[in-house]
Chains A and B, each alone.
Chain A
Amino acid sequence: MRRFSWFNATSLTFGFVFLYLPMLLLVIYSFNSSKLVTVWAGFSTKWYGELLQNEAFLDAAWVTLRVAVISSTIATVLGTMAAYVLVRSGRFLGRTLFSGMIYAPLVMPDVITGLSLLLLFIGIGLDRGVLTIVLAHTTFAMCYVSVVVSSRLVSFDKSLEEAALDLGCTPMQSFRLVTLPIIAPAVISGWLLAFTLSLDDLVIASFTAGPSSTTLPIKIFSAVRLGVSPEINALSTIMIGIVTIGVISASLITKRSMVRQQLEEQEAIRT
């Protein structure tokens, strides 16, 4: 073990405070009984109760959840397919271009992605609503899924698929019965990542949302412009909770399946 050092302890503390103090304040004030956000007047959960009465927020939450589930599911299917093709099918014309392009949306500013999608939807005459947000979120979340899944596929032993073919599987069966079960943890964490990304996206959603399809982040953003209310704090706390659970379980799933495999392998060597 390394020795305790004041420098390390201080920088660690500063780092964490910098990252989490704002969120911590938000969570604390969501339990404030006062209507004034900055004045503490005792513990209360009344804002959570009030939130449940707020039709507008509940509608927005429902839209957000639907968009997140649908778009992350489509993104997972497309992203897994893209990753599989890019990792597996060897060299084909334009492979480098494709694999470069799949990562491009990761670094593309959201504003540009949102704007270009808006132009596209107007161009093809698609009315903005839940469908357009789903399409937009699928587009960018797919890249993240593809990155997660392809990093797993790179270390995947190709002879497993050959063995499946050799034992009478069609290529489709080989994917379903061998490849997919083995890369499942990566696919699931890809889905969770896509889900949380969709959940907290504001910029792209505000470009592609229609009047009847406001998502929660948009609702919060517009509500805050009229002043921060404890209700918003409560809502944000819930969102932080969901996103945290999503991200933590995504990393746990990948990590645990790795650790378990290592443990079992060590056991196999011992016996």
Chain B
Amino acid sequence: MLQVQGIEVAYAGALALRGISFRVEEGEIVALIGANGAGKTTTLKAISGLVRPRKGRILWNGTELSSLAPHKAIALGISHCREGRQLFADMTLKENLLMGAYTLRSRKAVARNLERVLAFFPEVGGRLNQLAGTLSGGEQQMVALMRALICEPELLLLDEPSLGLSPIATKRILSVLPGLSRSGTSVLLVEQNAVQALAFSNRAYVLQVGEIKLEAKSADLANDKGLQEAYMGGLVV
């Protein structure tokens, strides 16, 4: 279980997170939604260690994460699929996936897991030797997600998979989440695309200017006018 307790993060004097707290239970899909600049990406970076909170605690199954070296998070079962895909553009698709399995020791486990993640998105399976930078946006997002899942994480931090993608492509990507959840993987999903994020999650938090404004069951929130308020500044009636 992930427990985030009152973390504050500042970039060059500007406070990006103003003391936020939330939790993710085992096998749960939690959506963190909010407008641009709300602090969603920063929250994920704080959990995986790419930024250090200046206050607060992050507990993962009882272990304190906030002072951990960033490359060690994955060994604890936390996998971070970053915003904008961030593939190794000049390496092949297969090499990208093998990098995802960097922490796996046995060759057998790597081979087995490669098979497993290729089953999620068979449409890119035939292009293992293509350079990742030449794939389309949707395909790159698939590879990024496969790369994050190949190490069998207990917690997947998924940052804005819908970025620049059509609703259909977004749905295709998010459709793997329920299966993950059934097999016990927790997912913390950061999204601007609220409708889809709510459709694929159990619970959601609404983040606004570095603070959590709302926590609710995703199904309840999906029909809430307050959500549109949060996004469009109340201008949509």
* A joins B in a complex: no
Q: Which residues of B contact A (CB under 8 A)?
A: none
Q: Which residues of A contact B (CB under 8 A)?
A: none
